[in-house]
């Protein structure tokens, strides 16, 4: 059973860079056909797919966030990381990491199909 756990600061100041880490246990982030995703949910709004890093190390980003988003990984720690730059209060949300096993389709942004989710972490952007 794959388990994911988000970690990072709960409060970030405007214009700073938000950095979150997802630690994976019960499976390797380099296992073929797994895609490791970041999704967020602002208060009162729906889920928003932000981006992903594949088992191969390839990265994918939402077009609306691409200019501010970077996703990387540390295979030695079995972790992947989200960085979101120049944050504003509109980036306040619960941030989730999730795993998708997709051997035939490749990257999927339809998070309803994802296999495993972290519990989520609240990030507030405020001075």
Work out the pLDDT band at 19, boundaries 50, 70, 90: very high
pLDDT at 2: 96
The burial of 36, by beta-carbon neighbours within 10 Å (0-12 exposed, 13-18 middle, 19 or more buried), is given as buried
pLDDT digits (tens, 9 = 90+) for 60-93: 999 999 999 999 999 999 999 999 999 999 999 9
Work out the pLDDT band at 8, boundaries 50, 70, 90: very high
Can you give 59-89 as a three-state secondary structure string? EEECCCCHHHEEEEEECCCCEEEEEECCCCH
The three-class DSSP label of residue 119 is coil
pLDDT averaged over every residue in the chain: 97
Comparing CA positions, the residue from 28, 27, 30, 10 lying closest to residue 19 is: 10
pLDDT at 113: 86
pLDDT at 110: 87
């Amino acid at each position: 059973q794959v388990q994911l756990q988000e970690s990072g600061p709960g409060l970030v100041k405007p214009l700073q860079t938000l950095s979150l880490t997802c630690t994976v246990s019960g499976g390797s982030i380099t296992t073929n056909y797994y895609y490791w995703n970041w999704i967020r949910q602002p208060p009162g709004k729906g889920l928003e797919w932000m981006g992903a890093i594949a088992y191969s190390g390839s990265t994918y980003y939402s077009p609306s966030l691409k200019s501010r988003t970077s996703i990387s990984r540390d295979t030695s720690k079995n972790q992947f990381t989200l960085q979101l730059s120049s944050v504003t209060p509109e980036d306040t949300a619960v941030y989730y990491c999730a795993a998708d096993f997709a051997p035939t389709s490749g990257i999927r942004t339809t998070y309803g199909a994802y296999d495993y989710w972290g519990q989520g972490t609240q990030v507030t952007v405020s001075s």
